[in-house]
Amino acid sequence: MNKQYNQYERDPASNKRYGRAWKRIRDRYIKLHPLCEECEKQGKITPAEEVHHIRPLSKGGGNEKSNLMALCKSCHSRITAESGDRWGRSNP
């Protein structure tokens, strides 16, 4: 997780949701899912570097496995930009 992103771009409420407990959940999930789940759907083998909440925490999602996806940085950036969720906005 990018420390600078946490410190400067996330609001304080989000920072609380992404603390030590999240790091443990994230690390466990990446260990079980070492490849990007989106790339795998396309037949590509790409190491996962991020864990994505399918339904964002800000919209009632949780840290359960069914709400998580292992993604490479590229897929994570694309999905996050498409949803508009990175900065707490959502696309109509």
Confidence class of residue 18 from pLDDT cuts 50, 70 and 90?
A: confident
pTM of the model: 0.73
Distance CA 91, CA 24 (A): 30
Q: Tell me: the pLDDT tens digits for 29-67?
A: 999 999 999 999 999 999 999 999 999 988 899 999 999
Assigned CATH topology for domain 3-83: DNA Binding (I), subunit A (1.10.30)
Domain ranges of the chain: 3-83
What pLDDT was estimated at residue 4?
A: 47
**Which pLDDT does position 67 carry in this prediction?**
97
- What is the rounded CA–CA span in Å between residue 25 and residue 41? 23
Residue type, 74: S
